[in-house]
Amino acid sequence: MTVLVTGGAGFIGSHLVESLVARGDRVRVLDCFDDFYDPAAKRRNLAAALASGQARLIEGDIRNEADVQKALSGPEPIEAIVHLAARAGVRPSIAQPLLYTQVNVDGTMVMLEQARRAGVRRFVFGSSSSVYGARSNPPFSEDDRIDRPVSPYAATKIAGELLCSTFTHLFGLQTVALRFFTVFGPRQRPDLAINKFSQLIRAGQTVPFFGDGTTARDYTFVEDIVRGIVGALDMPWSQYEAINLGGSQPVSLNELVAAIEVAMGRKAVLERLPDQPGDVPLTAASVEKALRLLGWQPKVGLAEGLVRFRQWLER
């Protein structure tokens, strides 16, 4: 299979590219190397896959039709797109809502339209658990309402899902939205809690701790997420689907800090701060649909995943 991965130099994308290369797929990566975090880190993420000769990098922006057309062109037609490129993060989206809309909504529309024109048959969209909003009754099912987002980031992901569904309905493009639940592991973005907390604890610095510690997240190891994406590329389907990929075991912020302390072998010094706008009290995935359609279940729990993350951090 020949696959285009947008955002393929990022955290999840680079792991996916390596997995596709390892199984013999031909991969093209479209990435703009924006400065949300160090572009050099993203280039390191992708180095091994590019060295294999089975992956090719196209530097460009998903909002630019010419860049996307360049990524889709070549001697072998693209059979599937995994669209992971996005402006990420709830809190930054509150500060820059226009940018998030331009990249995440306009960029997704460009990708879908160019996929349609190029005759691509399959489109996997990287969505988010944030689409469920500020719910507190677990587990979150794909049949639940998603019309009450509490951040611009969440709203852009809902919009992306609706665009995918529309393109399936109108044009027969096979689309699926995978709702990722708090992904962690090696190469995790530096702004995310596990990476940020681990780095601070390791350095003996204070850890920003928002709220009373009872907010909970469903942490999902990156290898499990990649297995789900590959499963979506391979599964037979003809209609739009939204599918949760989550660890299925919510962990409170208090429990997370304690688990990181065990993994790092050091105690955290907490700087207690008020709750942040846009944060939700809970994420908790029902993964019954993923099991039924993809044969997927999470395999790597939080404790094991934190050990693997620490090993990567200390390499």
Residues catalogued as catalytic? 153
HSE-CB at 96 with a 13 A cutoff on CA atoms is 10
Rounded Cα gap, residues 201 and 230, in angstroms? 34
Helix H or strand E encompassing 231: helix 222-234
For residue 239 the two structure tokens come to: 């209609």
CB 170 within 8 A of CB 164: no
Strand partners, 2: 26
For residue 164 the two structure tokens come to: 């995918």
Rounded Cα gap, residues 33 and 38, in angstroms? 8
Residues comprising the chain, all counted: 315
Rounded Cα gap, residues 9 and 49, in angstroms? 10
